[in-house]
Amino acid sequence: MSYPEKFKYTREHEWIEVAGKTGTIGITDYAQNSLGDIVFVDAPKVGTKVEKGAVFGSVESVKAVSDLYSPVTGTVTEVNEELSSSPEKINTAAHDSWIIKVELGDESELSSLLSPADYEAFVAEETGK
């Protein structure tokens, strides 16, 4: 699996794409594949403050409920409402299906996130492949 170069990644399997002061956040293809069929996405409301490394919502699959961790500190500016009626879009296109957009509070936090190559190595280490 190749991971988009335009993203930065967390060890909890979220991705973030930054444009200006806005970060678009979703979960990786590896995460959706591990979860199986996604049936529900619980996302925060617009205006909610999120903290780097803290839970901001969850994804429920037929197998389990998995917490979502924010890669950055900021304020939610948009929620992908499409996922409330079609959460399975994450299974078909994880890297195109964002969950929330946030206004970045501290851009320096991005430097602690993983590059695509580092994330790929992390997944290989985690899975033993």
What are 31-67's pLDDT values in tens digits?
Answer: 999 999 999 999 999 999 999 999 999 999 998 999 9
pLDDT level of residue 128 (50, 70, 90 thresholds): confident
Query: How far from chain centre, in Å, is Cα 82?
Result: 16
pLDDT level of residue 126 (50, 70, 90 thresholds): confident
Query: Are 122 and 114 a contacting pair, CB within 8 Å?
Result: yes
pLDDT > 80? residue 85: yes
Q: Which pLDDT value is given to residue 30?
A: 95
Q: What is the DSSP letter of 44?
A: P
pTM for the complete prediction? 0.96
Q: Please state, in angstroms and rounded to a whole number, the distance separating the CA atoms of residues 101 and 52.
A: 14
Torsion 30-40-59-19 (CA) sign: positive
pLDDT > 80? residue 1: no
Query: What is Dmax (Cα atoms) for the chain?
Result: 40
Task: Report the alpha-carbon angle 27-2-78, nearest 5.
Answer: 30
pLDDT > 90? residue 129: no
Q: Please state, in angstroms and rounded to a whole number, the distance separating the CA atoms of residues 59 and 31.
A: 10
The strands making up 38-42's β-sheet, listed across from edge to edge, are 38-42, 55-61, 65-69
Q: What dotted CATH number matches 8-105? A: 2.40.50.100
